[in-house]
Chains A and B, each alone.
Chain A
């Protein structure tokens, strides 16, 4: 029994127009993981997902889903896999209920057996009231939910989501995060590609960064963020300031009169900063991390790969 939900070795893809999308990537995702696959547009994320889901033909390399090689045991691998594609891929003229029941049927689950599961998923995703609506009449957010409902109806052990929250509002995004965390907790391995780096930072335990068809980082989120030399802290102040104070070793900037941002080097203690601020009679109401830490790293890695 393999310990990996997904194993990719030397995966290559060259399209008919000679565009090299993947230059021989290696990737391993452990069972039960919540894994982020990040990369700029055209990096090779969708090609990788397409190959795993057999929507794209690979040029070379091997892919195994829970130990099932897609070249040798494709149908077994497919039965363990659920994919939420980037683009809407259901018939817009069918009813929501029919779309999900039909998808269950494609996995060999008859309607009578699928119905209780369909009902519970549609209810969980707030789609049950819209079950008799034609899919084309749904808003963008509900269409995204329907994509997820469709992908998990056969209870896949590995769920891959290609930018599932692209273009959805913050409330729905948070709802989706909660749902994904729940199914991951229940044992489903999740691989997520996203452009919202905050999303990856919030949800995922491990991360791979892909750029120009190569993996440039593959590590745990904690270790990756630990490579940051400087960490940003945001202080909400009790009283407004006119200009940022000058404290040696701690670059400070004033975002607005009541918000002070500090860059703290990894080898400096934040207690020292507090002491200095207290000496200057600056009272702190609350403090939080700057949330764009992953973004900084991402840009740094992609830029260094381009050089």
Chain B
């Protein structure tokens, strides 16, 4: 390699490093902004799940739970813990991204991002990381609350538990992003969580094993994607599941890839954000 080639190589390398550094800074800035947003309104974002889940543990765990008996060989309150953590993680990851991205559209501060040289994938990743941070933090808070009611809880497979926690947050953050892209009003960002997401989660085995359902309902339940998410997490926390773990993990990853591609396509096309 002669001197000119070396110089040209070093110049290209320094430009590449500079660009990568700029992209890393912009991603960090957006992620911090997103985290700062939900921490600033912690009374609306962090406290409600802790209060609601405490009520679930009191009513369904401590009061009604002993009358139900065991589920898959576990105390009912113990069986409920993974389901309730997932319920909180899913709704909070989704809500964080859908409300934040719709708000920046509504307030027109999306223009700050669109005018800047941030690549679209960075914009998507910044919002998703914001959703993941909230989802994971809520998961930890709800787990902490559950320990108040069931101090002897031990996690069966910590690695699987953490992996599913992160994958679930990513998956539902991406869903929230797509919802926000198409939303034209505040009604549009609450319709899907209220009428689709929550019923599917409740019917996805948060409170029960599908093995207690009649054959027809069990078959219908198998078509509910939330069942796979909740049961994979339960496998991590308790070591029991109604579904195949490798299939569930595979499907979660496939859906993450499909939704990521869809989000990037929508961003590149400018759907809902560019006239």
Give the interface of A toward B (CB within 8 A). Answer: 15, 50, 53-57, 74-76, 78-79, 81, 83, 85, 87-93, 98, 102-103, 105-110, 150
Contacts and interface: CB of A to CB of B under 8 A. Distances in A.
A91 B111 contact: no
B117 A107 contact: yes
B25 A105 contact: yes
A57 to B, nearest CB: 5
Contact of A107 (B22, B104, B275): B22
B108 A53 contact: no
A64 to B, nearest CB: 16
B33 interface: yes
Contact of A87 (B30, B32, B108, B113): B108
B28 interface: yes
B116 interface: yes
A76 B270 CA distance: 19
B118 interface: yes
Contacts of B104: 91
B34 to A, nearest CB: 11
B27 to A, nearest CB: 9
B274 A108 contact: no
A15 B275 contact: yes
Contacts of A53: 111, 114-115
Given A87-B108, A93-B40, A108 B275 contact: no
Interface centre among A15, A53, A54, A79 (most CB of B within 10 A): A54
A45 B220 CA distance: 56
17 contacts: A54-B114, A54-B115, A57-B270, A57-B274, A76-B117, A78-B117, A87-B108, A89-B107, A89-B108, A91-B104, A93-B40, A105-B29, A105-B30, A106-B29, A106-B112, A107-B22, A107-B117
B270 A89 contact: no
Contacts of A93: 40
Contact of A85 (B111, B116, B119, B270): B111
Contacts of A102: 29, 33, 112
B109 interface: yes
Interface string B93-113: 000000000011001110111
A53 B111 CA distance: 9
Nearest to A75: B117
Contacts of A87: 108
A80 B200 CA distance: 48
B108 A54 contact: no
A56 B275 contact: yes
Contacts of B40: 93
Contacts of B33: 102
Interface residues of B, number: 29
B231 interface: no
A106 B109 contact: no
B179 to A, nearest CB: 20
Interface in B111-135: 111-119
B107 A108 contact: no
Nearest to A76: B117
Given A55-B111, A105-B32, 17 more contacts: A15-B275, A53-B115, A54-B274, A76-B117, A78-B116, A85-B108, A87-B108, A90-B109, A105-B25, A105-B28, A105-B29, A106-B26, A106-B116, A106-B118, A107-B22, A109-B25, A150-B112
Nearest to B22: A108
A59 to B, nearest CB: 11
Contacts of B22: 107-108
A45 to B, nearest CB: 14
A182 to B, nearest CB: 23
A266 B114 CA distance: 49
B96 to A, nearest CB: 15
A57 B116 contact: no
B21 interface: yes
B125 to A, nearest CB: 14
Contacts of B108: 85, 87-89
A55 B275 contact: yes
Q: Which 7 pairs between the two chains have the least Cβ-Cβ distance?
A: A108-B22, A105-B29, A106-B116, A75-B117, A89-B108, A78-B117, A89-B111
Nearest to A105: B29
A106 B113 contact: yes
B23 interface: yes
Contacts of B115: 53-55, 78, 81, 83
A91 to B, nearest CB: 5
Contacts of B26: 105-108
